[in-house]
C-alpha cells in the first residue's frame, strides 16, 4: 500500500507541477521515447543477468507491492512453533522429532502453521537445523556456524535482484539521453520546416531525458531500495530462528530458548515478554508424549 501511494505521489507531484505551469500533458505522451527507454532497459536486464536472477528480480519487484511479510503476529507464531518443537523434544526425546523434521507436512506440530509450511526457506532452515540435533551429528557451536553460513548464502541470493534493479536504474538516465539524441537527429532532418514543427520535435526529444530521469529516481530506484528493506527483514527473521535454535542446542530450557529468539526480534515488532508468555500458555499445543525420553545433547558434547 505504501509503495503504491508513494509512486502515485511522485507522479502526482511531477505532473501537478507541470500542469500548474500550464504545460501541455499531451506533449509528454511519446510512445517512441517509452519504447526506446523501456526496450533498451529490458535488453540490459537480459544481457547482464542469468535467467535465475531475472526471475528473482521480477518476482521481487512484484512482492514489494504486498504487505510486509513479517510482523509481530508472525514472530509470535514462529516462536510458538519453536516452543512446541523444543518442548516435545525435551519431553519425548530428540529422536521422536525425527518424523516431524523429515516430513513436516505430516507433523502434528507443523500442520498447525500452514504459513510456515508454505515458506520453503523457513521450513528448510528449521528442519535442516533440527535434524542435526535429532541425529546428534554436530555440536552447538558447529550448528550455529552452519546456520550463520546458511543465512549468509540466502542473504546474498536475495541481494542479487537488488543489484539488477540498481543496474537498470543507473542506466535509465543514459537511455533517456539516447532517446533525446535520437529526437534531436530527427529534429535536424526537419530543420527547414515551420517553427511549430521543429518545436514539437524538440519537445518530444526532451521528453526522453525527462522519462529516463523520472523512472530512475522515481520508480526503479525506490523499488530496489524497498526490496532491499524486505531482504533485511528476512535476514532478521532468520537470525531470530538461529538465536532460538542455537540456545536450545546448548541445553537451554524451551522457554529460555524462546526468550533468546524474542530478544533478537527488531524492537518495532518485538512482542513483550508478557505477550509471548500468555500466547504460549494459551495457544501452544504440544503433542502428547507416547514414549517419554530425555533431552539428548549432540554426540560431540556427551
Q: What is the pLDDT of residues 172-200, one digit of tens each?
A: 999 999 988 988 888 887 777 777 778 78
Whether residues 172 and 98 share a domain: the answer is no
Query: Are 180 and 288 contained in the same domain?
Result: no
Residue 288 CA to residue 93 CA, distance in Å, equals 12
Q: Which of 231, 248, 271 is the last residue of a domain?
A: 231
In a domain, 11, yes or no: no
> What does the pLDDT read at residue 294?
45
Residues 239, 102, single domain; the answer is yes
Question: Residues of 31-62 as b/e, b for ≥16 C-beta within 10 angstroms?
Answer: eebeebbeebbeebbeeebeeebbebbeebbe
Q: Does the residue 19 lie in any domain?
A: no
Indicate if 111 and 126 belong to the same structural domain: yes
Q: So what's the pLDDT on residue 299?
A: 40
Residue 118 is placed in which grid cell?
508454505
Q: Which domain holds residue 280?
A: 72-155+234-301
Q: Select from 137, 138, 156 the least CA-distant residue to 235.
A: 156
Is residue 124 included in any domain, yes or no? yes
**Residue 76 shares a structural domain with residue 150:** yes
Task: State residue 297's pLDDT score.
Answer: 45
Maximal CA-CA distance, the chain: 95
Check whether residue 151 and residue 238 sit in a common domain: yes
Domain count along the chain: 2
Same domain, 222 and 100: no
In a domain, 5, yes or no: no
17 is a domain residue: no
- Is 16 domain-assigned? no
Are residues 177 and 292 both part of a single domain? no
Q: Are 209 and 150 contained in the same domain?
A: no
Buried b / exposed e over 135-151, threshold 16 CB at 10 Å, is ebebbbeebbeebeebb
Does 45 fall in a domain? yes
One domain, residues 212 and 260: no
State how far the Cα of 257 lies from the Cα of 251, in Å rounded to an integer: 9
Q: Last residue of a domain, which of 179, 207, 231?
A: 231
Residues 256 and 296 in one domain: yes
The pLDDT value given to residue 117: 93
111 and 144 fall within a common domain = yes
The Cβ-side half-sphere exposure at 134, using a 13 Å CA radius, reads: 19
Flag residues of the chain having pLDDT under 50.
293-302
Confidence (pLDDT) at 236: 95
- The last residue of one of the domains, among 205, 231, 257, is 231
Amino acid at each position: 500500500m505504501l509503495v503504491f501511494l508513494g509512486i502515485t505521489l511522485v507522479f502526482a507531484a511531477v505532473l501537478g507541477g507541470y500542469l500548474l505551469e500550464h504545460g501541455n500533458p499531451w506533449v509528454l505522451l511519446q510512445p517512441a521515447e517509452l519504447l526506446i527507454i523501456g526496450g533498451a532497459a529490458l535488453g540490459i536486464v537480459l544481457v547482464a543477468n542469468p535467467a535465475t536472477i531475472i526471475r528473482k528480480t521480477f518476482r521481487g519487484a512484484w512482492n514489494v507491492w504486498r504487505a510486509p511479510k513479517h510482523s509481530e503476529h508472525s514472530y509470535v507464531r514462529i516462536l510458538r512453533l519453536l516452543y512446541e518443537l523444543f518442548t516435545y523434544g525435551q519431553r519425548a526425546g530428540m529422536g521422536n522429532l525425527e518424523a516431524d523434521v523429515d516430513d513436516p507436512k505430516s507433523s502434528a506440530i507443523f500442520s498447525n502453521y500452514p504459513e510456515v509450511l508454505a515458506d520453503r526457506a523457513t521450513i528448510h532452515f528449521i528442519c535442516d537445523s533440527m535434524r542435526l540435533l535429532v541425529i546428534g551429528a554436530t555440536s552447538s557451536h558447529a550448528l550455529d556456524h552452519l546456520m550463520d553460513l546458511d543465512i549468509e548464502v540466502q542473504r546474498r541470493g536475495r541481494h542479487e535482484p537488488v543489484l539488477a534493479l540498481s543496474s537498470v536504474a543507473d542506466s535509465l538516465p543514459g537511455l533517456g539521453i539516447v532517446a533525446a539524441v535520437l529526437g534531436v537527429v530527427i529534429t535536424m532532418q526537419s530543420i527547414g520546416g515551420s517553427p511549430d514543427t521543429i518545436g514539437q520535435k524538440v519537445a518530444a526529444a526532451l521528453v526522453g531525458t525527462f522519462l529516463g530521469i523520472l523512472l530512475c529516481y522515481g520508480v526503479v530506484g525506490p523499488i530496489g531500495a524497498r526490496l532491499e528493506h524486505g531482504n533485511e527483514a528476512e535476514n532478521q527473521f532468520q537470525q531470530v530462528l538461529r538465536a532460538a535454535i542455537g540456545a536450545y542446542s546448548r541445553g537451554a530450557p524451551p522457554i529460555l530458548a524462546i526468550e533468546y529468539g524474542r530478544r533478537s526480534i527488531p524492537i518495532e515488532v518485538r512482542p513483550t515478554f508478557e505477550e509471548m508468555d500468555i500466547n504460549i500458555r494459551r495457544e501452544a499445543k504440544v503433542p502428547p508424549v507416547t514414549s517419554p525420553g530425555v533431552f539428548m545433547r549432540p554426540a560431540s558434547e556427551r
